[in-house]
Amino acid sequence: MGDGFSGIWRCTHWYPSNEHLGDDFDEHEMRVHAEGKDIIFESLPQEDGSYMFVRLTIEDAIATGTWNESAAINGPYKGAQYSGAGQLVISPDKTSMVGKWAGAGYDHKLKEMRIYTGNWEISRLDSDDHK
């Protein structure tokens, strides 16, 4: 079921900024492989040391799963660990997915944990077949 997804993909997610009104975004280039109905995304080495892992189960045109991210050690989030869930709609040609993520984080203004949500896009950069 996860066939046709292997290759290199870009994972972009938007999240509420701690520094200004609106959203910031984070991107990871990721290698993908299939495991049955699941597709596994694992970030390629990042210059800043950040890392992301995504496991999605494919059911027709919907991808549902979990994500884990380690922020850059020297970045504004100082290596914090984040995780959550998400759901995306897969394009008919299987070259992109668009959806939403959700995950817990600390709200510095309210001084408490809360659930954040944001937009999420994953798009194919290259296929193993073209290398």
Going from the N-terminus, what domains does the chain have, and what CATH number goes with each?
7-125 (2.40.128)
Q: What percent of the chain has pLDDT over 70?
A: 94
pLDDT in tens, 25-53: 999 999 999 888 899 999 998 888 899 99
pLDDT at position 116 is: 92
Instruction: Report which of 94, 63, 80 is spatially closest to residue 26, judged by C-alpha positions.
Output: 80
Q: What is the mean pLDDT of the chain?
A: 89
pLDDT at position 110 is: 86
pLDDT at position 46 is: 86
Instruction: Report which of 29, 35, 27 is spatially closest to residue 3, judged by C-alpha positions.
Output: 35
In 10 A of CB 58, how many CB atoms? 22
Whole-prediction pTM: 0.87
The dihedral formed by the CA atoms of 92, 98, 103 and 106, expressed in degrees to the nearest 10: 170
Assign 118 to helix, strand or coil.
strand
Instruction: Report which of 129, 131, 67 is spatially closest to residue 94, judged by C-alpha positions.
Output: 129
Amino acid at 72: A
CA atoms in the 13 A half-sphere facing the CB of 112:
3
pLDDT in tens, 65-107: 999 999 888 887 788 899 999 999 999 999 999 999 999 988 7
pLDDT at position 129 is: 43
Cα dist. 10→30, 108, 112, 115 in Å?
6, 29, 32, 24
Please report which confidence band the pLDDT of residue 130 belongs to, taking 50, 70 and 90 as the band edges. very low
